[in-house]
């Protein structure tokens, strides 16, 4: 079955700790994306990557970091510098940058 997996589904962390969210796809897509979703707001782009070993900041990259060492994987690290990290995080991918995007099931991060 082809698709996008995100783990874990729920994540709890103490304030001041870094945390890494996993995103894996077996769709052979070149482009991958991280979005953040907050209640009452549209999805906002954090980072995106068009190709291995390359990535660009989105609208709200501050306090986040990513890596793209493999085509299939695009992990997101939420650092202690992120002021309000509690949110629902969604990973997506597409064949190329301009194509239809497919989303994973999401990770709900709660920081207390």
43 counts as binding other proteins under rule CB under 8 A: yes
Task: Give the residue from 18, 87, 102 showing the smallest Cα distance to 46.
Answer: 87
For residues 79 and 99, give the distance between their C-alpha atoms in angstroms, rounded to a whole number.
Answer: 30
Query: What are the structure tokens assigned to 82, written together?
Result: 């992120």
Q: Rounding to the nearest 10 degrees, give the CA dihedral for residues 101, 65, 54, 45.
A: 30
Nearer to other proteins by C-beta: 80 or 103? 103
56 binds other proteins (CB under 8 A): yes
Tokens read off for 7: 């783990």
Our CB check for other proteins shows the closer of 15 and 41 to be 41
Of 13-21, 37-45, 61-69, 73-81: span binding other proteins (CB under 8 A): 37-45
> Which of 1, 15, 54, 100: binder of other proteins (CB under 8 A)?
100
Residue 2 CB, shortest distance to other proteins, in Å, is 14
**DSSP secondary-structure letter at 96?**
S
The four Cα atoms 50, 44, 99, 91 give a dihedral, to 10 degrees, of 70
Give yes or no for residue 52 binding other proteins (CB under 8 A): no
User: Which residues bind to other proteins, rule: CB under 8 A?
Assistant: 4, 6, 33, 40-43, 45, 48, 50, 56, 58-59, 88, 90, 92, 97-98, 100-106, 108
């Amino acid at each position: 079955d082809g698709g996008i997996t995100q783990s874990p589904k729920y994540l709890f962390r103490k304030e001041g700790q870094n945390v890494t969210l996993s995103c894996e796809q077996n769709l052979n897509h070149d482009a991958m994306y991280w979005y953040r979703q907050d209640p009452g707001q549209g999805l906002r782009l954090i980072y995106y990557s068009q190709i291995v070993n390359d990535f660009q900041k989105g609208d709200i990259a501050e306090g986040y970091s990513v890596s793209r060492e493999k085509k299939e994987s695009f992990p997101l690290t939420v650092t202690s510098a992120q002021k309000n990290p509690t949110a629902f995080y969604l990973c997506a991918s597409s064949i190329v940058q301009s194509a239809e995007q497919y989303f994973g099931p999401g990770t709900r991060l709660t920081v207390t």
